Structure 1
Amino acid sequence: MSDVSAELVFRRGKEVGKAVYQNRALSKAGISERLFALLFSGLVYPQIWEDPDIDIEAMQLGEGHRVVTIASGGCNILAYLTRSPAKIDAVDLNAAHIALNRMKLTAVRDLPTQADLFRFFGAAGAEHNSAAYDRFIAPNLDPVSRHYWEKRNWRGRRRIEVFNRNFYRTGLLGLFIATGHRAGRLFGVDPSGIMAATDLAEQRRFFDEKLAPVFDNKLLRWATSRKASLFGLGIPPAQYDSLITSGDGSMASVLKARLEKLACDFPLKDNYFAWQAFARRYPNPGEAALPAYLEKENHATLKANVDRVGIHHANMIEFLAGKDAGTVDRFILLDAQDWMTDEQLNALWTEITRAASPGARVIFRTAAEPSLLPGRVSASLLDQWHYEDEASRDYSARDRSAIYGGFHLYVKRG
C-alpha cells in the first residue's frame, strides 16, 4: 500500500469514527457504532439523496452568496452552481466522497461536451467512460483522488471502471437498493414494475397492491428491527433511534411510509429519485427530469462556475472555526445533526452563529419530523435564529427524495 493510500485510509476511518462513536467500544451500542464507521469509511452515496431543487428554493440561492455545505455525493454542489453563488465550500469526513466530488468537478471542467458529461454520470453501460477518464480527467486530477479511482480490486479492475457499467449500483446506498429489490422479488414483487405506471393513480395502485403488503411480512419486520439493516442508507445507530420515533414503533412502518411518498406523491416524469430507486438508473434526456447538473441547458453555467468550489476533507465544526465572522450566507447540513451529541450540536451552532452573515440561512433534514434543536441547543444561540415552521413543513412535503421525516429552515436575525 502506498503512503498516499495509507494516509487516506487512516484519515477517513479516524474522522468518521470521531463523528459516530458515542459509547464504549465493547458495549453493544459501541460495537454497532464501530461497524457503521467501518462501512461508512468507503463509498456510501454515489448520488445524494436530498432534493437540491428544494434546497435552492429554501436558501433563496443566488449570485454572490457564500455557501458551506456537506459534500456527500456532490450532485447538490453542482446543482447549487447553476445559481452562480460566489463560493461553495464543500466539507466531508468521508474520503471516498471527497475523491468523487473532486473527480466530478474535474469532469465538468475538462470533458469536451455536455454529452460526454451525461454519458459519464447519467448513462448506464457506457463502456468507454474509463477511457474518457484516462484522457480528459486523470491528467488534471489531484494525486490522492487519482490514486483512489485507479486503485485495483482483487480482480485487477481499476475502481474507475465501475463507470463503464452502472456507478449508481455501487456504494452502500446502491447495495441497499439492490437488496430491497431482491427482497421484493423474494416476496413475489418486482419493484421496477411501477415504472410502467402512466399517472399518479397507477403509481398508487401499484404501491397499494404490490409494495405495501411486503412490509407486513414477519421476516422483513424482524430484519428491519436490527439497526445494522439500515447502515446501507448511511443511517448510524443514533439516527436509527430517531427515525423509529416517527412511526408506530416499528422500522417497517417507517420505511413503508417513506416508500409510499416516493412511489405515490410525485409523477415519475418529475422524480429522478424514484427512477434510481425503482428503475436503478437515471432517465434518458427527454424521458423525464434529470439532476440539474445533467440538464443540457445548465452546462455552460456549470463550466463557468466550477472553479468556485473548494472541496475539504474536514470536520464541519473545525472547518467553520477557521472562517471569519459574518462571512457565510448559506449553510447546508444535510442530516448530519442526527448523528450528534448535545455537546457537538452546541459547538456546531456556536460556529454557525459566529460565521453567519445577517439574514444567513441554514437548512437541514432530520430522520424524524420535528427539528432536533429545541431543548438541545442553547437558547442563547437559538434566540439568534428564526425557525421558518410553515415553510419547513411545505419544503418537507415537496422533497422528492422522500426519505426524511423533516426539512428545516432557520434564518439569522438582524
Structure 2
Amino acid sequence: MTDLAPDAGFRRNRKLKDALLQHKPLTRDGLSERLFELLFSGLVYAQIWEDPEVDMQAMELAEGHSIVTIGSGGCNALAYLSRHPSRIDVVDLNPNHVALNRLKLAAFRHLPDHATVVRHFAADNSRTNSRNFDRYIAPYLDAQTRAYWTHRGLTGKRRIAAFNRNFCRTGLLGRFIGAGHAIARLHGVRLDEITQARTLREQRQFFDDRIAPLFEKPLIRWMTSRKSSLFGLGIPPQQYDELASLSEGGTIAPVLRHRLEKLACHFPLKENYFAWQAFARRYPEAHEGTLPTYLKAENYAAIRANAERVTVHHANLTELLAGKPALSVDRFVLLDAQDWMNDGQLNELWSEITRTATPGARVIFRTAAEKSVIEGRLPEALAGQWVYHAERSAELNKLDRSAIYGGFHIYEKTA
C-alpha cells in the first residue's frame, strides 16, 4: 500500500520516476521524459482505455482464476469480477489511480443499489454523489484513500465533488479530449454530431467528410509532430517513437487518423462506449447505447459479491510478483506498460512472470505499434517457456473497441 496523504508530493513518486526516467535530465529525451512524468503524476485516466470484453476472451477467463493486472482507471478489474476469479491483485504506479480503484471497489460494496453506482460513475450533473460518498463509501475506506477524496484544492472543493459533474471529463486524458474538441471547433467541426449517426454508413460518412480532413490542417500536423502533443493521451516519449516509426514525414498524424477511423467507423455507436467518450465526452443514455461492462446491470450482483477478492497495491508489476509464491498466478494483464521498458526491465518482469505463472497461464498486453515488444528481447530460457498466439491476437485486436492501440498480444505458458 502507499501513503495517499491529501497533499502527497506526487512529483516525488519514486516508483513512477524509476519507470519513466531513462535519460539524463539536460538532454532532449531527458527533458521530454521529465515533462511527461510531471503530467503523469496527477490523475490520468478516469476510465481505462482497453476493451475488457476482448481481455476476457483472450484470457479465456474462468471461475477460480488468479489475476494480476495494472489498475489504470479501474474499470477492467471490476469487469473481470463478473467471471468469479479467486483473486485479483491490482497494481499501479500512480497513487491517484490507486485511490480511484479503491473508491470504485468500495462503491460496489457499499452503495445501496445498481442505479446509485451508475449515477456515481456515469451520470452528468448528479449532485447527490458526494453526499452518497459521505454516507455510504467514506466510512469503509482506508484513512489515506478517504483523505485523498476529501482533500480540498485551491477552489475549496473536495476532490470527490468531481463526481457531482461528469467525472470522465477529469484527469489528464479527459482534459486532452476536451482540448481536441476545442481544436476541432476552431476548424468548424463539432465532433459530438457523429452521435446522430444511426448506421455504420452514416458514421463513415461523418468521418470522411468532417474528421479526416482535420488531419491535413497545418496546426494539427504541427502539433502531432511533437512528442509532448500526445502526453495528454498518457503516451510517453518511448511510445511516441514507436508510433512515429509507422509513418513518414516526422508526424504521427496518419497513425492517429487511422486509429480514430477505427473508433469512428468499425463498430456501431450503440455498442461502443469508447466512441461516446471520445466524441461526446460522456457515456450514452439507455436509449443511445450500452455502458461499460462493469456498469451493466447483468454484472452488478457478481461484481458486488466478489469485490472483496480485489487488493489494490501501489507498486510495479515486478516488485509485486517478486513477493508471490511460484506457480500462483493464472492470468497477467500488462496493458501497454512494456512499451515503456528497457531490456533489463523487460527481463526482470518476465523472469517473475515465468516463475509465478501456473501451467497454461496467459499474459495479455497491448502495444502502440503492431508488433510484440518482447519478441527477440528475452533470453531463450524465458522465451522458450511461452507460446505466442499470433492468429488469435490479430483476430481480437480487430475487435478492440477502444481502437487506440496498434497491437494486441496473447502468450501462454507451455508447461
How many residues align structurally?
412
C-alpha deviation, 1:88, in angstroms: 0.3
- 1:312 & 1:57 partners in 2: Cα distance? 25
- Residues 12, 93 of structure 1: 8 Å contact kept: no
Give the CA RMSD over aligned residues: 1.3
The 1:313–1:8 alpha-carbon spacing in structure 2 relative to 1, beyond 3 Å, is farther
C-alpha deviation, 1:248, in angstroms: 3.4
Aligned pairs for 1:41-56 (under 5 A) are 41-56=41-56
- 2:320 partner amino acid: F
The 1:358–1:238 alpha-carbon spacing in structure 2 relative to 1, beyond 3 Å, is same
Aligned to 1:354: 355
Aligned to 2:414: 413
- 1:118 partner amino acid: V
Secondary structure, aligned partner of 1:235: coil
- 1:75 partner amino acid: C
- 1:182-233 Cα shifts (integer Å, max 9, x gaps): 1111111111110010000000000000000000111111111111111111
C-alpha deviation, 1:11, in angstroms: 8.1
The answer for unaligned runs of 5 or more in structure 2 is none
C-alpha deviation, 1:155, in angstroms: 1.2
- 1:241-261 Cα shifts (integer Å, max 9, x gaps): 012222335211111010000
Matched, 1:111 2:111: yes
Secondary structure, aligned partner of 2:88: strand
- Residues 244, 368 of structure 1: 8 Å contact kept: no
Aligned to 1:193: 193
The 1:346–1:291 alpha-carbon spacing in structure 2 relative to 1, beyond 3 Å, is same
Secondary structure, aligned partner of 1:82: helix
- 1:176 & 1:377 partners in 2: Cα distance? 35
The answer for unaligned runs of 5 or more in structure 1 is none
- 1:4 & 1:89 partners in 2: Cα distance? 19
Aligned pairs for 1:378-389 (under 5 A) are 378-389=379-390
Aligned to 2:71: 71
C-alpha deviation, 1:379, in angstroms: 2.3
- Residues 6, 151 of structure 2: 8 Å contact kept: no
Aligned to 2:242: 242
- Residues 13, 37 of structure 1: 8 Å contact kept: no
The 1:192–1:7 alpha-carbon spacing in structure 2 relative to 1, beyond 3 Å, is closer
TM-score scaled by length of structure 2: 0.97
Aligned pairs for 1:185-334 (under 5 A) are 185-249=185-249, 250-334=251-335
- 2:84 & 2:108 partners in 1: Cα distance? 15
Secondary structure, aligned partner of 2:348: helix
Fraction of identical pairs, as percent: 59
- 1:210 partner amino acid: R
C-alpha deviation, 1:285, in angstroms: 3.0
Aligned to 1:137: 137
- Residues 385, 412 of structure 1: 8 Å contact kept: yes
- 1:18 & 1:67 partners in 2: Cα distance? 24
- 1:282 & 1:131 partners in 2: Cα distance? 22
Secondary structure, aligned partner of 2:311: strand
- 2:193 partner amino acid: G
The 1:121–1:245 alpha-carbon spacing in structure 2 relative to 1, beyond 3 Å, is same
Aligned to 1:18: 18
Secondary structure, aligned partner of 1:73: coil
Aligned pairs for 1:96-175 (under 5 A) are 96-175=96-175
- 1:177 & 1:69 partners in 2: Cα distance? 25
Secondary structure, aligned partner of 1:330: strand
- 1:386 partner amino acid: V
- 1:362 partner amino acid: V
- 1:94 partner amino acid: N
The 1:192–1:11 alpha-carbon spacing in structure 2 relative to 1, beyond 3 Å, is closer
The 1:295–1:4 alpha-carbon spacing in structure 2 relative to 1, beyond 3 Å, is closer
- 1:218 & 1:246 partners in 2: Cα distance? 20
Secondary structure, aligned partner of 2:83: coil
* Runs of 4+ residues over 4 Å off in structure 1: none
Aligned to 2:393: 392
C-alpha deviation, 1:28, in angstroms: 1.3
Of the structure 1 ranges 124-133 and 327-336, higher mean CA displacement relative to structure 2 is found in: 124-133
- 1:4 & 1:406 partners in 2: Cα distance? 34
- 1:7 & 1:185 partners in 2: Cα distance? 36
TM-score scaled by length of structure 1: 0.97
C-alpha deviation, 1:154, in angstroms: 1.0
- 1:356 & 1:89 partners in 2: Cα distance? 14
C-alpha deviation, 1:90, in angstroms: 0.3
C-alpha deviation, 1:4, in angstroms: 5.6
- Residues 69, 90 of structure 2: 8 Å contact kept: yes
Of the structure 1 ranges 361-370 and 3-12, higher mean CA displacement relative to structure 2 is found in: 3-12
- Residues 11, 38 of structure 2: 8 Å contact kept: no
- 1:86 & 1:92 partners in 2: Cα distance? 20
